Each structure stands twice: as C-alpha cells, then as structure tokens.
Chains A and B, each alone.
Chain A
C-alpha cells in the first residue's frame, strides 16, 4: 500500500512540475515583465538594471528553480493589472469558487445518480425517456446558455431568485467567506450551481446508466437471481454497489473540471470567483495570474485524483490485494 501511495505521489509531482514548466515558459516568452513594471519612457540602462535585479539574466534552469521554489511557498508574484500579490487576489476569490463548485458537485451527484439508476432499471418507462431527453439537452446546451435561460425564467420573469452576485457573505476565520450562513447567500447559490452542475449531472447520469446496464448483464447478477434474491436486494444491494465503484473514479475526476468550468458560470452570474479573475487575466495578458491559476488547478486536480485513487483502493477489495503486491 505504501509503495502504491509513494508511486502515485511521485507521479503527481511530475505532473505538477510539468505544469509549472508551462506556466514558467509563459512568463519567459509571453509578454515582458520589465515592460509591465516600468513606464515606457524608461531608459535602456534602467531596464537593464531592472532585468538584473529581477534575475532575468540568469540561466533558464535557475530561473525555473526559483519560480518553483517560490510557488511552493505560495508566492506567485505580482499581478500586472492590479499591482498586488497574486496570492492575495486568488485567495480572496477562492472561497466563492470553491463553495460554488462544491454545491454544484453535490447537486450533480444527488440528482444524477438516482436518475441514472432509474433510467437503467426502468428502461422503457416514459419517465426514463424524459430523463434521457433532459440529459441530451444538458450535454448539448452550452453552459452559458443554460445560465442565461435560468436567469431569464427565475430571476427576470418570476423574480424568485437573484440573477447575480453571492448575496450576503459571512467571514469565517481570517480568510474564508461563506454564503452558506445567510438566506440571501443560499438563494444566490441556487441558479449558478444548477448551471454549473448541469453538464456534470448529465454525464454522471449517463455513466451510471451505462454502468448499471453493464452490471445487470453480469454472471453474478444472473446467479443472484437464480438464488431467488429479492429484486430490491439485487438491484440495490448488488447492482448498485458494483455500479458505484467505477463511477466514483470518474466523478472524482469530473469534480476537478467543475472548478475550471466555473469560469463560464461565474461570468454569467457575475459571481466573484477565481474564474472571472482568470478570464480578465487572459484578456489583459496578466501572466502571473494566469500561471498561478494554472498551477492551482493542476494542484487541485492532482490532490483530487490521489484522493479518488485511495478511495478506490479502500472500497474495492480486489485492489487491496493488488495494491499490496505493488
């Protein structure tokens, strides 16, 4: 088990380094940090001086090592646009994005799994066909259209829910702000999380359905029926459990992409999260923010992947053996 964990850790660090390399390459080759700091009239000597002081004349590898070292200490430099530490800027907005992503993920799971199970067990019912139609729409409509639609129906026309912003937030500790503790905060979460979670929900639903149908065809399910087990025991005790195991992995990986997809949802709902910050950075070529965001996403992905792998090893007894052997 230990060898397995170590191997995965090494892999993860490899991925992070690769991403760091790309992020760093952006720094070096796209845009000129000197220009960002100094005004246009600066003399060539001043520029040369600044270059030296920033260490821009050092060999590539040295600069890269420096970058990675700083990143490990959460120092991502200063934003070109806002002249503030990137870490602070990202930090301010992280809770908003993470809360949104979390609620979306929960929504996707809580709605997607039962729908998937239902469409697998009652394949020919009209409700199943309806669910499948909904899933097709969910996969086809771009996220931003869904968001706009929801806003139009629930905010503009019906006026039930807010169309932008986070509502009232409460500060916890010295960093986190949460929208969970206020009524307006909770209401503000509803539409964005449905929008963000919709795509994931349809993916999960289709996955669960496909897996379950696959499982229902296996020999052990046949044998279970031949033993006279009740339908309930077979469908939920056996089939569902076996379905959920691979679903966990894929869902876990999806969770990572929710955070990145948040960019779109945040734009539609004017949600003050990291995604909007990143978008602005892209539009204005604010490299420090772009690079930091990339690394952050990579880090989150890697952590989630690792967690999912460990979870898998815990849940599936077959893996415990092979993991021990690894």
Chain B
C-alpha cells in the first residue's frame, strides 16, 4: 500500500470568541492516496472549508489548530514555523478557491501572476518561467495562450478565469490540490468542463485532490472516495459508489435521498427535518441525533467513533456490532 499523500488524524480546529470556544472541527481523520480524488461534502458550516484551510495552514486567529496531526507524505506539517509552511504552500499543496472573479488581482496581468508564483517556488529565469506559464495556459485550455498571457483578469470570462486559477494552483507541481467549491460560482454549462479539467490534470500528474463541495452531483461524477461531514465531524467516509448508492449513516441517507434524479420515479424529495446545530450548541453524544429518525438512548450520550463497515468508516452506533450482539 503506497504511502498516502495526505494523512489527517484526529484534527481539531477551534475558534476562540467572546462567547466561548467554538469547535469547528472536532476529531476528523482521513487519508488521500496519490492521484486519488477525495470529495468532502456537507452543508454550509459543516467544517469542509475549515478542513481545507487547516491542511494548507491558513487558519488565522481567532481560529487555531487545537489538536491532531496533519502529515504530507509522512512528514508533519501542522506544527511548522510560518516560513516553512509558506514554502509548502503552492509548491507542495495547491489551492483553488470558489470565486474566480475575486481570486485574481485585477491590477496584474495573468502572466505576471503566473510568473511570480512559478519563480517563487522554482529556480527559473524570467524567460523560462514565462514559457512555462504559456504552456500551462495551453494545458488548461486557454486558446492563443501567447497572446492571452498578457491579458488582465477582467478580460477573461468566468470559466477562463477559473482555468487560470487552476493553472496557478498547479504551476509549481504540487503533490496535493485542495479545491474549495471550484465550480459553485460558475455557469452550469461551464462547471462540468472545469471539473473534468481538474480531474484530468491531477490524474496525469498523480496529484491527490481534496474536493470540497456541497454539490453531490459533482462528487458522484468526479470523486473516488467521499467523506460526509456534519457539525465538524465525519459521519461517513468511503468509496463514492458505495456511499452514494448504499449510504449507511442516517445523515448520509438523507443527503443522498435529497439528490433529485432524472431516472426513476419520485414523488417528493426526501427532507431531513431540522437543521444543522450552531457551533455554540452542538448536542452531546452524536451531533445528528436530534434529527435522526433512528436514534436511540445511547446516541444522546456517547459520541460514536468511526467503525469499519462494508469497506468504509461510519460514525454511527447503529453499526456497532458489539452492541448489536449484546442486544440480541
């Protein structure tokens, strides 16, 4: 088994506010293998973006990493000094943000921003860096790259801009790319292209991808494995096909049931009653239990740990075989 590119163990991220300490992420663990796409899904506020931010080291006060480990190819990166972490960012971990309109500095040409990033991480001359930038632009599908490299961001359409962003994220050949809602701000017609592009480029380079999104459709199409997050914890994590077709965790069941499908008959979309709790009021035990139709006594008392089941991990007492045996 090859060493995973990213290995997160029991990660905890807190925010210290005057109303108390809020646990944005409370004990999250997962791995990503080289070339693998891990989708991270969940509602707004579930902690998906915070996880991405923590991995790339961009959590700022009042937030902080309160526990756990993050390893990149076996080396710990969560406790590095700022300068060391800076060198990792861009070079070994790339990031793609949601809104291409605001991700690029409007006052610099696309070429200037690419060359700057390239030369920050690679010992190339200005000319070499520019050549490389042009090649990258071609790879991400920008037509006439030798001309458009001197264009300003506002001269590109939304989809083109996101391609530039992807080029920027990949220009230093990182081992891991974190894509935080890369298609949410784009037209539907363009979304598919961008996702395909990300997937292809990363597959070609063997880059691992952490794809954060709330769009289950994208996950189903693109990811190899998926982690379902809820209230800062992972409810279920496993191969995409399994989790989507036969979800185990009640929350995941609700989520998958809420995906409208063109095939088959459905009278109503499944709705999960209630809403995700606020960070200041996370229920004891399992965070989902107040909304869960299958909750029982233990759920409100003891927080479930991830259990191996059916080739994936589920954090739900329903699948605790030891308990099931004890009950029968």
Contacts and interface: CB of A to CB of B under 8 A. Distances in A.
The reply to whether A and B meet directly (CB within 8 Å) is yes
Contact of B86 (A230, A238, A321): A230
A227 B105 contact: no
A225 interface: yes
Given A227-B90, A245-B107, A218 B116 contact: no
Interface of A: 218-220, 222-231, 233, 237-238, 241-242, 245, 316-318, 321
A237 B97 CA distance: 21
Contacts of A233: 116, 120
Contact of A219 (B56, B91, B103, B116): B103
A226 B97 contact: yes
A317 B154 contact: yes
Interface in B86-135: 86-91, 94-95, 97, 99, 102-108, 116-117, 120-121
A242 B107 contact: yes
A230 B103 CA distance: 17
A228 B89 CA distance: 4
B302 interface: no
Interface bin, chain B: 20 to 34
A228, A245, A317, A321 — most chain B CB neighbours (10 Å): A228
Given A219-B99, A318-B106, A226 B89 contact: yes
A223 B116 contact: no
A228 B103 contact: no
Contact of B104 (A223, A241, A321): A223
A220 B112 CA distance: 14
A230 B107 contact: no
Contact of A317 (B56, B89, B116, B152): B152
A222 B106 CA distance: 14
B117 A229 contact: yes
Given A219-B99, A220-B105, A233-B116, A227 B89 contact: yes
Given A219-B103, A233-B120, 20 more contacts: A218-B102, A219-B99, A222-B58, A222-B97, A223-B97, A223-B168, A225-B58, A226-B89, A226-B97, A226-B169, A227-B168, A228-B121, A228-B172, A230-B86, A231-B86, A237-B116, A238-B108, A242-B106, A245-B107, A317-B152
22 contacts: A219-B99, A219-B103, A220-B104, A223-B103, A223-B165, A223-B168, A226-B90, A226-B95, A227-B90, A227-B95, A228-B86, A228-B90, A228-B91, A230-B86, A230-B120, A238-B108, A241-B107, A242-B106, A316-B106, A317-B107, A317-B154, A318-B154
A156 B107 CA distance: 50
Contact of B89 (A225, A237, A242): A225
Nearest to B82: A231
A245 B105 CA distance: 13
B113 to A, nearest CB: 8
B183 to A, nearest CB: 16
Interface string B35-74: 0000000000000000000001010000000000000000
Contacts of B120: 227-230, 233
Contacts of A225: 58, 89
| A241, A317, A321 interface centre (most CB from chain B within 10 Å) | A317
Contacts of A321: 154-155
Contacts of B86: 228, 230-231
A74 to B, nearest CB: 41
Contacts of B89: 225-228
Q: Which 6 A-B pairs have the closest CB atoms?
A: A228-B90, A228-B89, A219-B102, A226-B95, A227-B90, A220-B105
A69 to B, nearest CB: 45
Given A225-B89, A229-B116, A220 B152 contact: no
A231 B94 CA distance: 17
Contacts of A223: 95, 97, 103-104, 165, 168
Given A219-B102, A219-B103, A238-B105, A228 B88 contact: yes
A231 B99 CA distance: 23
A317 B153 CA distance: 10
A224 B105 contact: yes
B97 A318 contact: no
Contact of A242 (B91, B105, B168): B105
Contacts of A219: 97, 99, 102-103
Nearest to A226: B95
Nearest to A215: B105
Contacts of B108: 238
Nearest to A239: B105
Given A223-B97, A223-B165, A230-B86, A316 B155 contact: no
A318 B152 contact: yes
A226 B56 contact: yes
A255 to B, nearest CB: 23
Contacts of A317: 106-107, 152, 154
Contacts of B58: 222, 225-226
A233 B99 CA distance: 22
Given A220-B104, A238-B105, A317-B152, A229 B97 contact: no
A226 B58 CA distance: 8
A234 to B, nearest CB: 10
A228 B106 CA distance: 19
A316 to B, nearest CB: 7
Contacts of A318: 106, 152, 154
A233 B165 CA distance: 18
A49 to B, nearest CB: 67
A249 to B, nearest CB: 15
Contacts of A220: 102-106
A318 B165 CA distance: 19
B103, B165, B169: most-surrounded residue (chain A CB, <10 A): B103
